[in-house]
């Protein structure tokens, strides 16, 4: 087995030296278990949190443990009656070429229905997060203005397209190429580049009726630009704040956004609701049925950024936290 373990905890942005590639012997497959061969590994922003030992909703990855992650795998050997050799499954093998599973964390997918990598993106955890946050918390009405940050990415691209299906609009992305994709390929009404110096003004001009739903993926300067544009009774599904993930351990933040934020939230009766996709897991089957239909009809488009080789996972992951990915970031192991 080739695998990547956490060698040391990063302070600020992760560096290649925080990871170590190892080879270990292939284990025996215990009774009732399966041996999985990884085809695709999903790289996701939450992994940055798991590399730290700061208190969180889940335990940190221990030093020398395999980096966690969702995977699409082929069952190479089965000693479990529920699975047979050759089955394709979404599981959680982490950053390694093979893993043992008792089957309880596996979900079978049909590789003929959609490309199997979609099980990690548009028809996987990120697509479901977009659906859960927008449908339960954002709840856009026709003609309302919906703004989503990191709009070309795994979650954001789905949020914007679902909003469009619901009759609403807009996106924020980094750089002209991502903005062009968001507007021309995904069909958002507008795409604003947060790297542009007059980003806040451009956003205000693109939202003449204010913002009814802001799907928050980023935080930081993007939140600063959105805040004054929020309408009364606006809804903010708080999905993530990737611009801050490398901040912890660097000392207190340079800008305290709390007083300005709570003032607007109170005076405009805004609902800011954080969520984890798993709290809506009861809707997962409905999501898969609906989203598979939209993907098949071409109503829900997706872009994947596929990197070849497990060895390249650390560099690709470091890039995710700097906006270097363009679409759902996946490693072809």
Any contact of residue 220 with ligand NDP (CB under 6 A)? yes
> Which lies closer to ligand NDP via its Cβ, residue 175 or residue 210?
175
Shortest gap between Cβ of 101 and ligand NDP (angstroms)? 22
Shortest gap between Cβ of 216 and ligand NDP (angstroms)? 8
> Which lies closer to ligand NDP via its Cβ, residue 69 or residue 103?
69
Contact with ligand NDP (CB under 6 A): which of 119, 156, 171, 234?
156
Per-residue CA distances from 140 to 137, 263, 301, 333 (Å): 9, 23, 20, 38
> Which lies closer to ligand NDP via its Cβ, residue 229 or residue 329?
329
Any contact of residue 199 with ligand NDP (CB under 6 A)? no
> Which lies closer to ligand NDP via its Cβ, residue 35 or residue 70?
70
- Among 65-73, 96-104, 169-177, 308-316, which window interacts with ligand NDP (CB under 6 A)? 169-177
Contact with ligand NDP (CB under 6 A): which of 35, 155, 229, 316?
155
Contact with ligand NDP (CB under 6 A): which of 173, 211, 213, 226?
173
Which of 103, 170, 116 lies closest to 143, judged by CA?
170
CA distance 293 to 298: 9
CA distance 54 to 288: 34
Q: Which two tokens stand for residue 331?
A: 């490693």
Any contact of residue 97 with ligand NDP (CB under 6 A)? no
Q: Which two tokens stand for residue 250?
A: 């660097």
> Which lies closer to ligand NDP via its Cβ, residue 33 or residue 194?
194
Contacts with ligand NDP by CB under 6 A: the residue count is 34
Query: Which residues, including other chains, have CB under 8 Å from residue 112's CB and lie 6 or more apart?
Result: none
Residues between 259 and 278 that touch ligand NDP (CB under 6 A):
275-277
Shortest gap between Cβ of 122 and ligand NDP (angstroms)? 11
Shortest gap between Cβ of 321 and ligand NDP (angstroms)? 6
CA distance 116 to 107: 12
CA distance 200 to 226: 8
Residue 191 β-bridge partners? 171
> Which lies closer to ligand NDP via its Cβ, residue 23 or residue 57?
57
Any contact of residue 200 with ligand NDP (CB under 6 A)? no
Helices (H), the chain: 46-50, 125-133, 154-165, 176-180, 199-206, 220-226, 258-267, 284-297, 313-320
Q: What kind and span of H or E run contains 72?
A: strand 71-78
CA distance 310 to 85: 23
Residues between 294 and 333 that touch ligand NDP (CB under 6 A):
320-323, 325, 328-329
CA distance 227 to 147: 11
Q: Which residues bind ligand NDP (CB under 6 A)?
A: 44-46, 126, 129, 150, 152-156, 173-175, 178, 194, 217-218, 220, 222, 239-240, 242-243, 275-277, 320-323, 325, 328-329
């Amino acid at each position: 087995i080739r695998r990547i373990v956490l060698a040391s905890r990063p302070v600020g942005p992760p560096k290649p030296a925080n990871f170590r590639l190892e080879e270990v012997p292939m284990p025996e497959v215990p009774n009732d278990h399966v041996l999985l061969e990884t085809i695709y590994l999903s790289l996701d922003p939450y992994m940055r949190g798991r590399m730290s030992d700061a208190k969180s909703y889940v335990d940190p990855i221990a030093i020398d443990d395999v980096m966690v992650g969702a995977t699409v795998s082929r069952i190479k050997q089965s000693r479990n009656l529920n699975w047979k050799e050759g089955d394709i499954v979404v599981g959680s093998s982490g950053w390694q070429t093979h893993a043992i599973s008792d089957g309880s964390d596996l979900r079978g997918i049909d590789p003929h229905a959609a490309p199997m990598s979609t099980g990690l993106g548009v028809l996987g955890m990120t697509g479901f997060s977009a659906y859960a946050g927008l449908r339960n918390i954002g709840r856009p009405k026709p003609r309302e203005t919906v703004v989503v940050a990191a709009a070309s990415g795994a979650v954001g691209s789905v949020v914007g397209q679902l909003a469009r299906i619901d009759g609403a609009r807009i996106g924020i992305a980094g750089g002209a190429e991502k903005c062009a994709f968001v507007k021309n390929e995904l069909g958002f009404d507008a795409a604003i580049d947060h790297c542009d110096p007059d980003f806040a003004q451009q956003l205000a001009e693109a939202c003449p009726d204010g913002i009814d739903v802001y799907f928050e993926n980023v935080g930081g300067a993007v939140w600063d630009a959105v805040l004054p544009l929020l309408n009364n009774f606006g809804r903010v599904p708080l999905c993530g704040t990737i611009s801050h993930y490398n901040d912890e351990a660097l000392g207190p933040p340079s800008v305290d956004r709390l007083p300005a934020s709570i003032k607007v939230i109170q005076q405009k009766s805004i609902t800011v609701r954080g969520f984890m996709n798993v709290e809506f897991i009861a809707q997962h089957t409905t999501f898969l049925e609906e989203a598979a239909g939209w993907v098949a009809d071409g109503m829900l488009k997706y872009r994947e950024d596929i990197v070849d080789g497990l060895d390249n996972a650390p560099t690709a992951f470091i890039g995710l936290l700097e906006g270097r990915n363009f679409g759902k970031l996946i490693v072809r192991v």
